[in-house]
Amino acid sequence: MRRDPLWREEISIFSADEKYVNRRQFAKFLVLTSIGMFVGNLWILVKSWLTKAPAYPLRAIAKIGEIPVGGVKLFSYPTSADPCILVRTAENELVAYSQKCTHLSCAVYYVHQTHQFECPCHQGYFSAKDGRVLQGPPQRPLPRILLQQRGDDLIAAGIDLGEA
């Protein structure tokens, strides 16, 4: 029995057959996706090589008595594109965190009654004590801003990403 050549079986002249994807085409699509994943990993590798360890400047962000208990102050650190939130959780306790949710970068806000940070976008909750995730889709804790006290000034001195 005479059979059509392979290319004719693969490329049908009937438009109704065009919607069918054969196994080989599907395998090719999966392999191309797999190569795409590899390229993505290479991109992460190159990015990790090119990114230098950030140097954090010392910057005065507030006066000690400026914020009442339960009050907050917004500031930017280390650049103007990095919004942060300073909170007086108790009389002698001040904490500061990045205000960007580690899920999709929505701004978190402080809820004094529960001592938590809440992300209103997807209901992510972080502990105000150490920034760890309490609930919701975020996988990483809020980066903590390291604070120093110099006289009456509160100084931002670095960022702790919160994971060992």
Partner 1 sequence: MEPLTPPPPTQRRGLTAIDGALALIAILLIVQMWLLTATLESLLAGHREAALPSAIASGLLAAACFGLYWFVRGVDREVRK
Which region, judged by CB under 8 A, interacts with partner 1, from 22-30, 68-76, 81-89, 117-125? 22-30
144: Cβ–Cβ under 8 A, 6 or more apart, which residues?
A: 95, 96, 97, 98, 130, 131, 159, 160, 162
Residue type for position 82: D
Residue type for position 60: A
- Tell whether residue 9 is a contact of partner 1 (CB under 8 A): yes
Find the DSSP H helices in the chain: 6-10, 23-50
Residues in 103-162 that interact with partner 1 by CB under 8 A = 139-140, 161
Intra-chain end-to-end CA distance of the chain, in Å: 69
Residues in 81-110 that interact with partner 1 by CB under 8 A = 102
- Tell whether residue 41 is a contact of partner 1 (CB under 8 A): yes
The contact set with partner 1 (CB under 8 A) reads: 3, 6, 9, 23-24, 26-28, 30-31, 33-35, 37-38, 40-42, 44-45, 47-49, 51, 102, 139-140, 161, 163
